[in-house]
Structure 1
Amino acid sequence: MRAAYDEIADWYETEFLPSTRPGDPLGIRRAITEHLGPGSGRCLEIACGTGVHAAQVRELGWTPFGADLSAGMLGHAAGRLPIVRADASRLPYADASFDAAITVVAHTDMPAYPAVLREARRVLRPGGRFVHIGVHPAFCGGFADRADPAAVVIRPGYLDGHWTKNSWTSHGVRDKVGASHWPLPELLNAFLAAGLVFEGFSEGGAPVPTILSIRTSAASRQCPSAPASGPR
Structure 2
Amino acid sequence: MAAYDEIADWYEEEFLRAQPVNPGAEALRGLLGHGSGVCLELGCGTGVHADLVRELGWTPVGVDLSSGMLRHARARLPTAQADAARLPVRDRSVAAVVAVLVHTDMPAYFAVLREVARVLRPGGVFVHVGVHPCFCGGFADRGDPAAVVVRPGYLDGHWTKESWTDQGIRDKVGATHWPLPELLNGFLDAGLTLDRFAETGAPLPIVLAARAHAR
Picking from 156, 166, 191, the partner of 2:152 is 156
Picking from 186, 189, 192, the partner of 2:182 is 186
In 1, the alpha carbon distance for the partners of 2:204 and 2:37 equals 35
- In structure 1, give the amino acid aligned to 2:11: Y
What percentage of residue pairs aligned between the two structures are identical? Answer: 67
**SS in structure 2 of the partner of residue 8 of structure 1:** helix
For structure 1, which runs of at least 5 residues remain unmatched after alignment?
220-232
**SS in structure 2 of the partner of residue 93 of structure 1:** coil
Q: Which moved more, 1:29-38 or 1:52-61?
A: 29-38
- In structure 1, give the amino acid aligned to 2:204: V
In 1, the alpha carbon distance for the partners of 2:68 and 2:169 equals 15
- Map of 1:30-179 to 2, 5 A cutoff? 30-179=26-175
Aligned residues between the structures: 215
Q: CA-to-partner distance for each residue in 1:79-103, whole Å, 9 max, x for gaps? A: 1111000011000111111100000
Cross-structure match for 1:14? 13
**SS in structure 2 of the partner of residue 67 of structure 1:** strand
Displacement of 1:139 after TM fit? Answer: 0.3
Q: Which moved more, 1:30-39 or 1:8-17?
A: 30-39
In 2, the alpha carbon distance for the partners of 1:116 and 1:33 equals 22
**SS in structure 2 of the partner of residue 64 of structure 1:** strand
Cross-structure match for 1:206? 202
Displacement of 1:3 after TM fit? Answer: 2.2
**SS in structure 1 of the partner of residue 98 of structure 2:** strand
Query: So what's the TM-score if we normalise by structure 2?
Result: 0.98
- In structure 2, give the amino acid aligned to 1:76: H
- In structure 2, give the amino acid aligned to 1:207: P
Q: Which moved more, 1:130-139 or 1:142-151?
A: 142-151
- In structure 1, give the amino acid aligned to 2:163: S
Q: CA-to-partner distance for each residue in 1:132-183, whole Å, 9 max, x for gaps? A: 0000000000000111121210000001100000000000000000000010
Q: CA-to-partner distance for each residue in 1:63-115, whole Å, 9 max, x for gaps? A: 00000000000000001111000011000111111100000000000001000
For structure 2, which runs of at least 5 residues remain unmatched after alignment?
none
Displacement of 1:41 after TM fit? Answer: 0.5
**SS in structure 1 of the partner of residue 87 of structure 2:** coil
Q: Which moved more, 1:107-116 or 1:2-11?
A: 2-11
Displacement of 1:4 after TM fit? Answer: 1.5
**SS in structure 2 of the partner of residue 160 of structure 1:** coil
**Would you identify which runs of 4 or more consecutive aligned residues in structure 1 move more than 2 Å?**
none
State the Cα RMSD in Å. Answer: 0.8
Displacement of 1:205 after TM fit? Answer: 0.4
Cross-structure match for 2:4? 5
Query: So what's the TM-score if we normalise by structure 1?
Result: 0.91
